[in-house]
Amino acid sequence: MSGEPRDRYAVVIVGGGIVGLFTAYHLARAGTGPIAVFERGFLSSGASGRNGGGVRQQWETGATVALAREAVAAWRRFPGEFGFNPYFRQGGYLFLAESAAELAQLDRVAATVRAAGLPLERLDPRAVARRAPGIRTDRIQGASYLGSDGTLYPFPAIWGAYEAARRLGVDVFLRSEVTAIDSEGGRVLGVRVGGRRVAADRVVNAAGGWSGELSRRAGLSVPNVASRHEILATEPMKRFLDPMLIRLSDGLYVSQTMRGELVGGLSVPHPPGVVPGPPSSIAFLRRMSASLVDLFPNLSGLNVLRAWAGYYDDTPDGMPVIGEDPRLRGFFHANGFGGHGFMLSPATSLRVARSVLGERTDLDPARFGPARFLSPGRAMHAEHLQPG
């Protein structure tokens, strides 16, 4: 929106990605008072507009599986609730294992997912080839498949959440960077935007890859690290691939859009932290192209149309950070989602909103709360199933 912000809001949300917009929507429905969302770039300029659109329920921890199941149900309802269709296609997720260690990891995931009542399948190489025609199977030892996982288009989802929040009276300011967090006596007082002070009783850090920097602007030491990841899209071809496919050995992931484009990525080393852009790299294009052709030899003549990059917001245990920071009252975290903030956002944003409202949530603070990083040396279970 254009115009100037009010002098005071009940809640200020920093970050206009899908988590921030969903959180604003839930808070506005609860009638918290005036809400502002400040986004440093344009709508969809962050990770919410730069991801592969994957939505899965295959995780190592039961708490994450529960959030993912809720998110899948919410994405199915999204067109009717928000009036925008993200084309959520439940073609499944196919995780490929090429070693005994990777098979053991998939077995651990399968036990957790099946305990939640989801019908995860274990596939042999022949069954993998039926799900992904043309795939090279000589190194594949097995795979896991869950048919209710899927993919969606991020942009209709972002616009749907944006318009819904605005209809409920939320003020959304684009190209408006929060440069400082005002506080006194361990309590949030507001934010600074373009040299102007905007008072607020509660501030939500939903800044994605910039969340660590924002927390430090509030005087808080946090372990969040921004890491750059790259992705590409090929020219369209005849559809052959229904599931999102992930190879555990190198983290390669790829799916096919309804137009026939292949969209996928894998990690190449980059220095931590954010840079303007962010740029894509020749190193990624070379490695991704070689890995994709290694997996699907018949793709060797396919052209790449475009490539781009975005940021994961990583934590040491691979779990998000949700809730009020005990060191600064009124400062709430909604960050640390790695590369999976978008897929989980319908469920996690609801918990963020409840936390801001002072309500108890069903999230274990020892696993999701910001205080878990304040005890040096405390053992934490890490979520390792992070690619894609």
Q: Say whether both 264 and 351 belong to one domain.
A: no
Q: Say whether both 230 and 143 belong to one domain.
A: yes
Q: Say whether both 135 and 234 belong to one domain.
A: yes
Q: Say whether both 113 and 200 belong to one domain.
A: no
Q: Say whether both 29 and 170 belong to one domain.
A: yes
Amino acid present at 12: V
Question: Strands, DSSP E only, in 45-185?
Answer: 54-55, 93-97, 121-123, 142-146, 150-151, 171-173, 178-184
Q: Say whether both 324 and 299 belong to one domain.
A: no
Predicted pLDDT of residue 388: 45
Question: Rounded distance, CA 323 to CA 276, Å?
Answer: 29
Number of structural domains found in the chain: 2
Contacts (Cβ under 8 Å, ≥6 apart) of 194:
176, 177, 179
The answer to whether the pTM exceeds 0.75 is: yes
Residues of the domain holding 35: 8-49+155-224+316-373
Q: Say whether both 118 and 141 belong to one domain.
A: yes
Distances from the Cα of 42 to the Cαs of 284, 304, 346, 388, in angstroms?
Answer: 26, 26, 21, 25
Predicted pLDDT of residue 379: 58
* Count of alpha carbons within 13 angstroms of residue 206, beta-carbon side: 32
- 385 lies in a domain? no
Q: Say whether both 178 and 135 belong to one domain.
A: no
pLDDT less than 50: residues of the chain: 388
Q: Which residue has the tokens 């949700």?
A: 322
Classify residue 373 by its DSSP letter. G
Last residue of a domain, one of 270, 298, 314: 314
User: Closest Cα partner for 22 from 276, 253, 349?
Assistant: 349
Predicted pLDDT of residue 269: 87
Q: Say whether both 134 and 203 belong to one domain.
A: no
Q: Say whether both 308 and 362 belong to one domain.
A: no
Predicted pLDDT of residue 384: 61
- 384 lies in a domain? no
Q: Which CATH number goes with the domain that contains 140?
A: 3.30.9.10
Residue 278: asked if its preceding bond is cis (omega within 30°), the reply is yes
Q: Say whether both 250 and 126 belong to one domain.
A: yes
Predicted pLDDT of residue 278: 85
Radius of gyration of the chain (CA): 21
Q: Say whether both 297 and 159 belong to one domain.
A: no
Q: Which CATH number goes with the domain that contains 18?
A: 3.50.50.60
- 42 lies in a domain? yes
